Amino acid sequence: MTGHRARLLCIASLVAIALGAPAALAAETYDPWPGLVQDIFSNRPMNDGNDVIGIEMPARAEDAAIVPVTLRTKLQPGDSRRVVAITLVIDENPAPMAAKFTLGPDANVTEISTRVRVNNYTNVHAVAELSDGKLYVSKVYVKASGGCSAPAGKNVEEAKNHLGQMRYRQFTKSEQGPATSTREAQIMIGHPNNSGLQMDQVTQLYIPAFFVNELHIWQDDSPVLAMEGGISISEDPNIRFTYVSNGAKHFRAEAKDTDGHVFEHEWKVENPGT
Amino acid sequence: MAHGGSVLALLLMLWAPTIARAQEAELPVSEVAPGIFVHTGVTALMTRENEGAIANVGFVIGDSAVAVIDTGGSVREGRQLLAAVRSHSDKPIRYVINTHAHPDHSFGNAAFVGDGTSFVGHKALPRALAARGQFYLDGFRRTMGDVLIGEVRIIPPTVLVEDTLKLDLGRRSLTLKAWPPAHSDNDLTVFDERSGTLFAGDMVFLEHIPVVDGSLKGWLRALGDLTAIPAERVVPGHGPVSAWPAALADERRYLETLATDIRALVKSGKPIMAAAEHAAAAERPRWQLFDDYNARNATAAFSEIEWE
Ligand SMILES: [Zn+2]
């Protein structure tokens, strides 16, 4: 709930910026992070996340619409705490809260990769919530792309054709021996994930937002990963992650979008093991 | 005396913008065929220094009217193009054709707004301008500055091309073709039959690495139909005016290499980050601005090809 509210607040403030002072000017003179900690995390204390959560992004957003990001948990094997959730915040984006990932208690997810839109020169924060109830933060700085790249879609008709398609893929993790049950998988969801914040230059109206706001992934009936998504997630949301197999024979995903569509799919796990 | 002087100064101030406009330098153009004029942009990113003049722009003179094809990367470049038109013809500019939404081709539109001038574009151009216009203005304000970008207006077309459209300039007819997504999702080409000249917009790049901002697969598919256009020469979006269709060879090789490399990466389960680093690496020595665009092309192509 708080996540939703924070996002709405951020959209409202963007509209105010777009209608008033130039956004670029505001960005140079003001660090949005303290305000975001208040809006998204209710001002809870932030601890140094250097040993807890890693965030990797290219230094420059080559394509503003598709910037890869990888989140990696860094807790040592003996650590009694576990990562409960990871929130990804792109400070200077129109809607900074990109996604909140909730990690299944038994799935041991250690790596999550997705793709985001980056509108501006920006800090990107990853905030991990551990089972001890504390928040740990890491950040990277990303330069906006130059040239004719834009966070909006490249092929709007094709994006509509994809709507609701779901793909699952399992990867063999080369650095892991055959004895381990650590797996790597990917879920793709066809969706324009329209940010809705661009103003139509002709009508001067904002195009309505239309995006995937919820995704749940299970192995059999055990939750692996859930995502609460915002408009900063790229078109055709793509989540690649590691997890530990519980021997389940099926993988299941359910996505919901802001128009109330529900997309569901189930796949057989290749080689379930254990 | 002092009083008269200040009135004069005031009048000069009021006139100054008009004088500046009237006296804007002419954009250098060459007549590549009778009645066909082209300015060849510099192969570079848009900057304050080059005033955004990186794309090829041009105009076609018929017996009764002129058509301008792309307006450049700033209103200043647009005004310089207008001055070049005026030094070669006093016929009315009936059409301003935008080959697509990218700022280096359309930021000069405001220089041509006037009675009797229609803006012409792909049927998807208004949507692209709506979705991207403000982002482009904000982004290029950072790199090109307020002076150049402050006067840019996003001007959508009023004449839309659904499939093909012929425009009559007086004993000279231009054939406009709207393409499915390729370089972008709103590419338009302009063919002048009389001289055999094809204005290809960014469907064709030479020397400047091709930029994929629509559909790599769509672009590769379009090359067949593009080759079939019976032109003698092409005015590419970037790079020198060249013989047709030989001019397509480099672009075809690059796009095919990119697609082949990306397919191999997707097949072997590599992450999208690997595409930026490895795809089409063999093409590096053959293009200008390779490091500015290849990683981006690879990223975009990966997100398309992984759905195969
Ligand atoms: Zn272009």
Q: Is A273 part of any domain?
A: no
Q: Domain limits at A215?
A: 45-268
B307 and A162 in contact by Cβ < 8 A?
yes
A67 to chain B: nearest residue by CA? B299
Higher pLDDT, A1 or B208: B208
Query: Mind listing the domains of chain B with CATH numbers?
Result: 19-246 (3.60.15.10)
**Helix-then-strand count for chain B, H and E:** 9, 13
CATH number, domain with residue A74: 2.60.40.2470
Distance from CA of A80 to the nearest CA of B (A): 31
B132 and A150 in contact by Cβ < 8 A?
yes
C-alpha closest to that of B293 among A119, A145, A144, A233? A145
- Integer Cα distance of A164 and B242 in angstroms: 44
Task: Lowest mean pLDDT of A138-142, B126-130, B239-243, name the range.
Answer: B126-130
Contact B141/A at CB under 8 A: yes
Number of independent structural domains in chain A: 1
Q: Is A1 part of any domain?
A: no
Strands (E), chain B: 30-33, 36-39, 57-61, 66-69, 93-97, 118-122, 159-161, 164-168, 173-178, 188-192, 197-205, 233-238, 242-243
Query: Quick check: B303 and A193 in contact, CB under 8 A?
Result: no
Contact B299/A at CB under 8 A: yes
- Integer Cα distance of A128 and A158 in angstroms: 35
Query: Quick check: A39 and A6 in contact, CB under 8 A?
Result: yes
A155 and B211 in contact by Cβ < 8 A?
no
A176-234 per-position pLDDT tens digit: 555 568 899 999 999 988 876 555 555 556 667 889 999 999 999 999 999 999 889 99
For A63, B30, B284, the CA distances from A58, given in Å and listed in that order, are 11, 42, 20
Q: Is A78 part of any domain?
A: yes
User: What are the φ and ψ backbone dihedral angles of A67, each rounded to 5 degrees?
Assistant: -110, 115
C-alpha closest to that of B92 among B127, B62, B124, B119? B62
Q: Is A16 part of any domain?
A: no
A235 to chain B: nearest residue by CA? B303
Query: Quick check: B65 and B93 in contact, CB under 8 A?
Result: yes
C-alpha closest to that of A255 among A270, A241, A237, A271? A237
Q: Is A26 part of any domain?
A: no
Q: Is A33 part of any domain?
A: no
pTM of the entire structure? 0.89
A135-180 per-position pLDDT tens digit: 999 999 999 887 788 888 888 788 888 899 999 999 976 555 555 6
A146 and B126 in contact by Cβ < 8 A?
no
ipTM, two decimals, is 0.88
How far, in Å, from the CA of B211 to the mean position of ligand 1? 7
B131 to chain A: nearest residue by CA? A198
Query: Quick check: B175 and B164 in contact, CB under 8 A?
Result: yes
- Integer Cα distance of A109 and A241 in angstroms: 7
B131 and A167 in contact by Cβ < 8 A?
no
